[in-house]
């Protein structure tokens, strides 16, 4: 396939995955998971991000992640939720990028992403209200991040195994 055609194909796939990520964000928003700490959630969006990360590349995954945060934020959230999502999203992305560079397993990458996503949000929240006792929630958030990250990482792994051959290389 020549270069121009490949670029168009990639663009089309990115649009598709952007839509999928936004949809996942909506499903996430209506899933009634309450464990008493706001911000703890399954993070099913991360399946899409991880899939793109491992098949198209990190720049594409970051682009989709940021576009998704703004679209979902404007649709269902507010300025605060955009700020928190950005902090969590960018921090977890950096950590996932570093771990992947060092060839850690996809499950580890996903778990670290889940934990740092929560942690980024917690840090911003602590900073905004200047209450550092919010860090009281940190242990629970780490455990929740490990559990959710493992599930999401495994689902992402399955998706990559079955669908990666479709992606433009």
Partner 1 sequence: MKKRDIILISIFIAIAALGFGISRWPSLSDKEAILKISVQGETYGEYSLKQNQTIEIGSTNTCEIKDGKVHMIQADCPDKLCMDFTAIDKDGGSIVCLPNQVVLEIVTDNQNIDSIAG
Binding-site ranges for partner 1 (CB under 8 A): 34-38, 77-78, 80-81, 104-105, 107-108, 111-112, 115, 125, 128-131, 133-140, 142-143, 145-146
Nearer to partner 1, 3 or 32 (CB): 32
Shortest Å, Cβ 29 to partner 1: 11
Shortest Å, Cβ 88 to partner 1: 14
Contacting residues for 30 by C-beta, under 8 A, at least 6 apart: none
- DSSP class per residue in 60-91: HHHHHHHHHHHHHHHHH--HHHHHHHHHHHHH
What gap in Å lies between CA 59 and CA 62, rounded to an integer?
5
Contacting residues for 159 by C-beta, under 8 A, at least 6 apart: 47, 51
Tokens describing residue 128: 């905004």
What gap in Å lies between CA 14 and CA 88, rounded to an integer?
22
What gap in Å lies between CA 136 and CA 169, rounded to an integer?
45
Shortest Å, Cβ 112 to partner 1: 7
Shortest Å, Cβ 150 to partner 1: 9
Nearer to partner 1, 4 or 78 (CB): 78
Shortest Å, Cβ 8 to partner 1: 37
Nearer to partner 1, 65 or 110 (CB): 110
Nearer to partner 1, 8 or 136 (CB): 136
Nearer to partner 1, 77 or 168 (CB): 77
What is the crossing angle of helices 45-55 and 79-101, to 10°?
40
């Amino acid at each position: 396939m020549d270069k121009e055609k490949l670029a168009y194909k990639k663009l089309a796939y990115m649009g598709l995955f952007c839509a999928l990520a936004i949809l996942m964000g909506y499903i996430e928003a209506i899933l009634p998971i309450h464990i008493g700490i706001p911000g703890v959630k399954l993070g099913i969006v991360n399946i899409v991000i991880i899939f793109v990360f491992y098949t198209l590349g990190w720049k594409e995954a970051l682009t989709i992640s940021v576009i998704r945060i703004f679209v979902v934020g404007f649709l269902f959230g507010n300025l605060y939720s955009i700020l928190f999502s950005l902090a969590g999203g960018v921090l977890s992305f950096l950590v996932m990028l570093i771990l992947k560079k060092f060839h850690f397993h996809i499950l580890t990458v996903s778990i670290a992403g889940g934990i740092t996503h929560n942690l980024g949000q917690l840090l911003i929240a602590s900073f905004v209200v200047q209450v550092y006792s919010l860090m009281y929630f940190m242990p629970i958030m780490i455990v929740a991040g490990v559990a959710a990250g493992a599930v999401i990482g495994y689902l992402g792994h399955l998706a990559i195994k079955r669908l990666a051959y479709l992606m433009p290389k």
